[in-house]
């Protein structure tokens, strides 16, 4: 079984544009390249897992979500970092689906399809729903405390770890897994 890092997309790997529908609006955090390269070099499978309720709300075209995810994967591949897959939830916030974070459906689907051991894996994101999805899937979790992190409410347990950006999170993952 393989180890993996599941990454939220918006606010974690790329700048959160809120209902990003235009692929020209993709703006990768500069430190994301070094972070994913480090994780790739250390043998982690890397997955994007992203809630995209803008599809259900009519703000985002589902085809554009797929194009944006593909463009991100291609961009990182051109720099030597393999993203093994991108999973997204197009359902509404109150849709009750298993794939929308904080539910673990996207992580479990990726794990099943790619032979991932969730107990050896990590979830990184800028929202407590990301952290909770990791917890429910059985991964360790890191909350990114950046300019888009919403106020932390009491609805979920505290994150196991927190860091300011994805590169600091990647470094922590490598250090923790070598203990």
What positions carry a catalytic annotation? Answer: 8, 10
Dihedral (Cα; 142, 146, 152, 155), 10-degree rounding = -40
Q: For residue 163, list its beta bridge partners.
A: 144
Q: In this structure, what are the phi and psi dihedrals at residue 8, rounded to the nearest 5 degrees?
A: -60, 150
Question: What is the DSSP annotation of 73-124?
Answer: HHHHHHTT----EEEEE-S-TTS--SSSTTS-HHHHHHHHHHTB-GGG-EEE
56 contact partners, CB below 8 Å, separation of at least 6: 90, 91, 92, 95
Which one-letter DSSP state was computed for residue 67?
H
106 contact partners, CB below 8 Å, separation of at least 6: 6, 49, 87, 88, 89, 99, 133
């Amino acid at each position: 079984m393989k180890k993996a890092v599941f990454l939220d997309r918006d606010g974690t790997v790329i700048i959160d544009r809120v209902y990003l529908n235009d692929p020209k609006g993709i703006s990768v955090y500069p430190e994301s390249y070094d972070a994913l390269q480090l994780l790739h070099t250390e043998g982690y499978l890397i997955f994007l897992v992203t809630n995209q309720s803008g599809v259900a709300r009519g703000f985002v075209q589902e085809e554009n979500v797929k194009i944006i995810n593909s463009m991100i994967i291609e961009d990182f591949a051109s720099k030597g970092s393999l993203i093994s897959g991108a999973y997204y939830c197009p359902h509404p916030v109150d849709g009750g689906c298993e794939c929308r974070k904080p539910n673990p459906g996207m992580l479990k689907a990726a794990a099943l399809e790619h032979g991932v051991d969730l107990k050896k894996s990590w979830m990184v994101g800028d929202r407590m729903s990301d952290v909770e999805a990791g917890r429910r899937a059985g991964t360790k979790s890191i909350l990114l405390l950046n300019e888009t992190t919403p106020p932390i409410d009491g609805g979920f347990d505290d994150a196991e770890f927190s860091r300011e950006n994805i590169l600091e999170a990647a470094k922590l993952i490598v250090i923790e897994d070598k203990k």
